[in-house]
Amino acid sequence: MEPLGFPERPATRGPVTSGRASFGVSLAPSPAASFSAALTHEDTRAAMATIRKLRGRWQAAVRRKGMQPRSKSFDSKSDAERWARSLEAELDRNGALPDMRPAESMTLAQLLTRYRDEVSPTKRSAVTEVARINGILRRPICHRTMTLLSTADLAAYRDERLKAVAPATVIRELNTISHAVDTARREWGIHIATNPCKLVRRPSPPKGRTRRLEGNEEQILLAAADAGRVRYLRPLIELAVETGMRRSELLSLRWEHIDLDRRVAHLPLTKNGSSRDVPLSTRAVDTLRSLRIGESATVFTAAPNAVRLAWERLRRRVGLEDLHLHDLRHEAVSRLFEKGFNVVEVASISGHRELRMLQRYTHLRAADLADRLR
C-alpha cells in the first residue's frame, strides 16, 4: 500500500526553485521588513513608546537611550497613547524627559493654596485676591490634577460661574488661575505642557458705568448722612466728589501728606503703583479742616468693609440702590471736564494713566456742553 502523501516530483533540469515559490509567494523582502531593518540602524537617541495591557489596564512606556524610562497606566488605550505622544513630543522639543510626577500628583486646589500663601501676600491687592482664591477653592474644578486640567474644564467653570456672578468677576477668577499656573511652570518646577487658561475665551467685559448724580441726589445723600449715626459719611462723600479720589486713596490719606495752605494732598502710593498730588478745592479744604480733630494720623479711621456697609445702608435709606460709591469718582472727573480742564490736566488729578480708561469715566452732560456753545 502506498503511503499517504504527495507523490515525488520528477527531477527536472534548469534552475531550482523553492517549493514556496511554486505557490506564488515571492522571496523578496517586504517593505515592512525593510522598514524594520532600517529602524535598527536609526539614531539611538530616538524615543520609543510601547503600549501594553497589564493587569486589566493599559500601560504606556517611553524609553530613550541614556535616560530613565517613564511609564504610566491608564484605564483606556486612547489615554495611554495620548500620554505617550505628548511625552515623545516634549522629548523631541527639549531633548529630555520632563518629570511629570509633581504635576500628576498636584491638584488645582494645592496649586492655588500655595499661590495664595506665597505669592498673594506680596501684592497690594492681597486681601481681595485671597478672598477670591478662597472662593475658587470651594469649586469642584479644584479636585482636578494639573495634568488632567483641560480647557473644557475651565470653559465649564466659566459658564457655570456666569450664572451667578458678573462677567468681570469671572474674568478676574480666570486670570488668577492663569497667573498661578504660570508661576508654577516658571518658578516651582511643575511641568505643565501648556497653560489651559490662556486658551479659554473670556466673557465679554461689561461696559463702563455711566451713572452720575442727577438733580438733587447729592443733597439727599448729604442730608441722610447727617441724619445717620456714621459721622464720617458726609465728609467722605464731599471729598470723593471734590477730589475724584478712589475709596482706598481716601481711607489711606494721612495728615502729614496734606498741605492745607498750598491746597494739595499727596498720595504716595496709588492703585497704579505711582504717586500723585491732588489739588484741593475750597470746599475740600473746608471739609478737611472740619475733620482735623484728635491725634489720628489718617483722615479717616474706618476700615474699608465698614465704609462699604455704611454706604449700602445709606443708599437703601434714600432709595438710590443703583448708585455705587465709585460713581462719585465718575461724577468728580466729569465735573472737571465740564469746568474746562483738558485731558492732561484731568489725568494728573485723577491718576488715570490710559486715556482709554479716562474716556470711560468722562460722561459729560449734553446740556452742559450746549451752554458752552452759546
**Buried b / exposed e along 108-126 (16+ C-beta atoms within 10 A):** bbebbbbbbeebbeeeeee
DSSP type of residue 243: H
The catalytic position among 53, 202, 271, 316 is 271
Question: Do 137 and 109 meet the contact criterion of CB atoms below 8 Å apart?
Answer: yes
CA distance 113 to 184: 12
The catalytic position among 115, 157, 232, 361 is 361
Residue 64 a catalytic site member: no
The catalytic position among 234, 246, 247, 330 is 246
The catalytic position among 124, 326, 353, 365 is 326
Residue 271 a catalytic site member: yes
Residue 198 a catalytic site member: no
Residues 6+ apart with CB under 8 A from 366: none
The catalytic position among 70, 158, 276, 352 is 352
User: Which residue in the block uniquely carries the three cell numbers 465649564?
Assistant: 156
Residues 6+ apart with CB under 8 A from 348: 276
| Ramachandran quadrant class, 55 (left: phi over 0; alpha: psi -120 to 50; beta: rest) | left
Residue 352 a catalytic site member: yes
Residue 329 a catalytic site member: yes
The catalytic position among 64, 70, 329, 330 is 329
Backbone angles phi, psi at 71, to 5 degrees: -145, 155
Residue 246 a catalytic site member: yes
As annotated, the active-site residues are 246, 271, 326, 329, 352, 361
